[in-house]
Amino acid sequence: MILFDKAELISASLILKNYYWEGLPVGIFTLQRNVLTRVMLFAAPLFIIASGGCGGGSSVATNPAPDDVPADAAAGITVDGPDYSIGGSVINIAGGGEYVVSGAMLDGGVVVDAPGEVVNVVLSGATIRNSNGPAILAKAASSVRITLSDGAVNVLSDGGADEDHDAAIFSSVPLVLDGDGALDVTGNNQEGIASDSTLTVNGGNIRVAAVDDGLNSGEGIVINGGYIYIDSVGDGIDSNAALTINGGTIISLGGKMDDGLDADEAVLLNGGTIIATGANNSTPDASSSQKYILLSFGDVQAPGTMVHIEENDGTEIVTFKPAKEYEGFLFSSDALRSGVVYSVYSGGEYDGSERDDGLCAGGTYSGGTRLSHFNSGSADEDFIISGTGGVFSLGEGQQAPVSPGGALPPADGGLPPGHAGDPGGPQPLVSGDMPQVGQRP
């Protein structure tokens, strides 16, 4: 049994309240983290957390406090594969092939150390929490694939301060994620999912919360499909090379001083439904095959301030309610077309279906403020995509974002709402429950 004194419970409740609504400095979060983790570990099994409205926060997985970990932390885990061993709290994979992992590891991790081999780790209802390193670490292999078993919900979280392996899923080799199951990742050290090499996402229902970047790659990120929801303190998606999105549904909420999408090289948007918020976003490359609208508000928008885009005949393109503050907004889907006049609204209400990831659909939008852009130096309410995309400055005298990497405005830092236990945050979705943005009829 986990016991708390009165001061701990009061302290944790105040942390949760302030963390979501006001944002605490990193130092305060660090000092109070042990108390908060113990409270959330205690509370998580007792409550099913749900959210209302079109907006939400991020999913959460917390590490157990050290004194709550059994002597054999790997006792509840099951592995089926050709060449592995379990030593204490570590599953060591030493050979190529497929390894099916299920059950719970309360404090430990999976380490792939199979030089030259192709390894496929299948997560089939696995909960892996590591207080001192990654939940999954791919140290050596030709490549590593993580497959999310159909219908299974998997939860991974890391801890500690390892600067070399600073993500809940960390790979030193090419990393691929696929499958039709659900994956809930919490990066307590730095990143949620990171690769020193390339990172490819082909499928899965993935939610990431991270104290730095949600997805991070040293040599490029490619997203071909699946559903990805990210809430991060740093960049939502950060590629130190190129970023290519060919399909899927991607919702990326970056931190107040960072970007939803950030790439050092070209950002190519070729398919899928993409929403990204943050201080800014990298401008997609002109060779992208899918249209986009990129907005720069010029000042910070409060959490829950809707963005609504419609054609001038009233056809809804997207309505989105971010769970956290933002200044830059990016939207891309196959519903957008060149030459069409779009209207963009801020604020307002929506009476349709309510999702916990911020997407609104099946209803009617009303009450918002129609926005003007100042691209030509004077106010213009008509947003028209010319060529691949439209880049619009919404603040008079402000410059629209122009370069990969995104310029960062001078603003205070802060932690993302929901990462430390937002009671309104989204939970892992079951396989098949993929959200969709309404497409143009």
Q: What is the pLDDT of residues 264-303, one digit of tens each?
A: 999 999 999 999 999 999 999 999 999 999 999 989 999 9
If you search the block for the tokens 């590490």, which residue do you land on? Answer: 63
Q: What is the pLDDT of residue 386?
A: 83
Mean pLDDT score, 61-89 = 66
More confident residue, 282 or 1: 282
Burial 74-95 (b: 16+ CB within 10 A, else e): beebebebeebebeebbbbbbe
Question: CA 257 to CA 238: how far, in whole Å?
Answer: 13
Which pair of tokens denotes residue 70? 């059994």
Per-residue pLDDT band at 88 (split at 50, 70, 90): confident
For residues 294 and 389, the answer to whether their CB atoms sit within 8 Å is yes
More confident residue, 228 or 401: 228
Per DSSP, the three-state class of 314 is: coil
Which pair of tokens denotes residue 404? 């990969």
Which pair of tokens denotes residue 29? 């979060």
Mean pLDDT score, 322-350 = 96
Residue 67 has pLDDT above 50, yes or no: no
Which pair of tokens denotes residue 51? 């959210």
Residues pairing with 176 in the sheet: 145, 200
Residue 221 has pLDDT above 90, yes or no: yes
- Model confidence, pTM: 0.78
Q: Work out the end-to-end distance of the chain between its first and last CA atoms, rounded to an integer number of angstroms.
A: 55
More confident residue, 382 or 416: 382
Q: What is the pLDDT of residue 260?
A: 98
Q: What is the pLDDT of residue 40?
A: 32
Residue 142 has pLDDT above 70, yes or no: yes
Q: What is the pLDDT of residue 49?
A: 28
For residues 297 and 328, the answer to whether their CB atoms sit within 8 Å is yes
Identify the weakest region by mean pLDDT among 63-72, 214-223, 233-242, 310-319.
Answer: 63-72
In this prediction, what percent of the chain has a pLDDT beyond 90?
A: 66
pLDDT mean across residues, the chain: 79
In this prediction, what percent of the chain has a pLDDT beyond 70?
A: 72
Q: Report residue 267 CA to chain centroid gap.
A: 18
Q: Report residue 4 CA to chain centroid gap.
A: 32
Per-residue pLDDT band at 375 (split at 50, 70, 90): confident
Which pair of tokens denotes residue 284? 């997609």
DSSP string, 22-89: T---HHHHHHHHHHHHHHHHHHGGG------SS--------PPPGGGS-SSTTTEEEEE-SSEEEETT
Q: What is the pLDDT of residue 75?
A: 62
